[in-house]
Structure 1
Amino acid sequence: MKHYGYIGKGDDDFDVVKPLAQQMSGYPIGIMLLNVGYPIVPGNVANACTYDFPVRYARVRTVDSPRLHTKDPTIIDDLTAVGKELQEDGVRAIICACGYFGRWQKQLTERLDVPVYASSLTQIPMIRIGLKKSQKIGILCAVTRTFDDELLSCCGVDDPSMLVVKSMEEAAEFSAIPRDRDTMNNAKVRAEMVQAAKEMVAENPDIGAILLECSDMPPYAAAVQAAVNLPVYDFTTMIRWVESAVCRKPFYGYI
């Protein structure tokens, strides 16, 4: 049985319910990480300083970037196993820290017992409803070879024509991030992200909002927004939204 209790000042007189197998508590969000190593700066989904609430990380050790992009259908079993471990740790919702994990969004929601948001792309339907019919969503993604209609459909997108997709795989510094390496130039990555966004909007003036697909892109969201003057969504906008729903606190103030 889940317990969504909140203990505030003078509000601790209730029975605490917790499964015996749960060895910890206080983690609202569990995050499944791709098995890859590189510098993780604040703003990155895998950097705990990104959040003002606790997050529980779990690496999916059997899934690296090359395997992920084979679209191996057995990856669902690896994700399910790690997701169940996070559930046992008491998380209230689970995020997968790579946009391409969205291919298994629907299966994960059926296999796990807490809300699951496997990809930043699941925000597209909500972003779309706030735009004019004539406007599109610009997406900066890590790679295009597996950014396909199947992935989008699994994330709740039924009209890919509303999207303008631009890949960062040709950007010299950014394209090296999702590979095993121990150095990167943060300023160069920021400049590449800003340039890509400016080019995409210049070529498509009907873009009304931008979505950053990759979990490595949020550190540069503010710079992108300053450059193109549009709403910018990414993994962190989704994670904060989910956390705010599963960790409601009472309101206090004057009437």
Structure 2
Amino acid sequence: DAEHLGNVGIRSDSNYVIGGAQDEYGCTEFDNLWNPDKRPACPNAYYDRAEQQMIEAAKKFKEKHMDVGAIVLECTGMQPFARAIQREVELPVFSWGTLLDYAYSVVVHRDYYGHV
């Protein structure tokens, strides 16, 4: 929401779109883990099913917002599907994993060989 984004310096009139994987695009497999009204006594989810639902959600999101230039997966449970999503929608995909990779690269530089 605008207050949440405003707290990190993003203006409400900026060029961004928010979409809900569960609420808007039907990623129901996550309900088995995170929705207290729908999850079973022993929470579980099928990876393959969740991955396919995430891919379909991303494809629908891209179709709906054709000018989108990147996707941010804000939920920690979505990170495992980032590469599969990226393959399908051919957009940069950011997540907590890319944030950690970036932070790590700042403190542990690698040697360069070849062209820079």
TM-score range, shorter chain: 0.7 to 0.9
Pairs within 5 Å for 1:2-151: 148-151=1-4
Q: Does 1:168 align with 2:24?
A: no
Counterpart for residue 5 of structure 2: 152
- Unaligned 5+ segments in structure 2 are 37-41
The structure where strand makes up a greater share of residues is 1
**Would you say how many aligned residue pairs link Structure 1 and Structure 2?**
106
Pairs within 5 Å for 1:165-244: 165-170=18-23, 171-179=27-35, 181-244=42-105
TM-score by structure 2 length?
A: 0.78
TM-score by structure 1 length?
A: 0.38
Two-structure CA RMSD over aligned residues (Å): 2.3
2: distance between equivalents of 1:204 and 1:236? 24
Paired residue for 1:248, among 108, 111, 115? 108
Structure 1 or 2, whichever has the larger Rg, is: 1
Distance change in 2, residues 1:230/1:150 (3 Å): same
Q: Say whether the 8 Å CA contact 2:32–2:44 is kept in structure 1.
A: no
Q: Say whether the 8 Å CA contact 1:225–1:232 is kept in structure 2.
A: yes
What is the DSSP-based 3-state SS (H/G/I as helix, E as strand, rest coil) of the residue aligned with 2:18?
A: strand
One-letter amino acid matched to 2:76? S
One-letter amino acid matched to 2:108? R
**Post-superposition CA distance 1:162-212 (Å, at most 9, x none):** 111111224211233335743211111101111111111111111111111
- Unaligned 5+ segments in structure 1 are 1-147
2: distance between equivalents of 1:191 and 1:179? 19
Distance change in 2, residues 1:251/1:153 (3 Å): same
Q: Which has the higher contact order (CA 8 A, sep 6+)?
A: 1
**Larger deviation, residues 201-210 vs 170-179:** 170-179
Q: CA deviation at 1:249?
A: 4.8
